[in-house]
Amino acid sequence: MFGCVNTPGSFHCSCPDGFSQLSADGHCQDIDECAVNNELGPCMQRCHNSQGSYRCSCSSGHILAGDGHSCFAECPPGYRKKPVTPPKNTTGQNTKQDCVDINECLENMCEWQCINLPGSHRCICPRGYTLQRDGRHCKDINECNQKNGGCSHLCVNRRGGFKCACPPSHRRSSYSWKKCMPKTTASSAG
C-alpha cells in the first residue's frame, strides 16, 4: 500500500509509477515493463526489470543512446573495435580502442579478385567476364552476342574471350584478325 486518501464513507489508494494496485486491499505490485515486445519492453536490444522501474542495455559492439532506449553501433558498417597498441615506452594496459576497417577480402568473398575498400569491398572479374548480381561470382561475357564480336564472318565465344573465324572459302585478312577475305586461286589471279 502506498498512498491512500480518505473520502466520505470510503477511501481511495494509489501506487507509485512502475507499480499497479493488485486488489481492493490496496497492495501495490511491480509492473514488469520488460514483459512485452518479445521481452524487450520499451528497449531496442535488452531490457532489465527492477522494482518499480526498468533499465535498457545494448549488446556488444553497441552503445546506449541518450534516450535510454535505443542502441547504435560503436563503429560504422564495415568497421570493428580493435585495441590501440600503446607506445613502446609505456607501462600498464591500454584500454583505448579504435574503429578499424574489416578486410572482407580475407574471408574469400569473391570468386576471382577482391579489393578491400574503407568499410567495404569490391569483387572484380578478369577481362571477358562480368560480375553477377550476387556481387561475388563472375560470368563469361559472350562477345559474339554483340555485333558478332566485330567479326566479319564467324564469331566463336571462348571462356573469357572470343575469336573470329573464316568459312572454308575465305582466309583471315593480314590486316585485321576480325576480317576474312575470299581465298584467291592461281586460276583467278590470272
Mean pLDDT of the chain: 86
Q: What count of Cα atoms within 13 Å lies in the side-chain half-sphere of residue 183?
A: 8
Whether 142-184 and 3-87+95-101 are alike in CATH topology: the answer is: yes
Q: What is the CATH number of domain 3-87+95-101?
A: 2.10.25.10
Task: Using DSSP bridges, classify how beta strands 46-50 and 28-30 pair: parallel, antiparallel or unpaired.
Answer: unpaired
Domain boundaries, the chain: 3-87+95-101, 142-184
H helix count then E strand count, the chain: 1, 18
Check if the beta carbon of residue 141 is closer than 8 Å to that of residue 132.
no
Q: What angle do CA 102, 120, 45 make, to 5 degrees?
A: 70
- Give 190's pLDDT tier (boundaries 50, 70, 90): very low
Helix (H, G, I), strand (E, B) or coil at 189: helix
Q: What is the CATH number of domain 142-184?
A: 2.10.25.10
In tens, the pLDDT along 120-177 reads: 999 999 999 999 999 999 999 999 999 999 999 999 999 999 999 999 999 888 888 8
DSSP string, 118-150: TTEEEEE--TTEEE-TTSS-EEE--GGGTGGGG
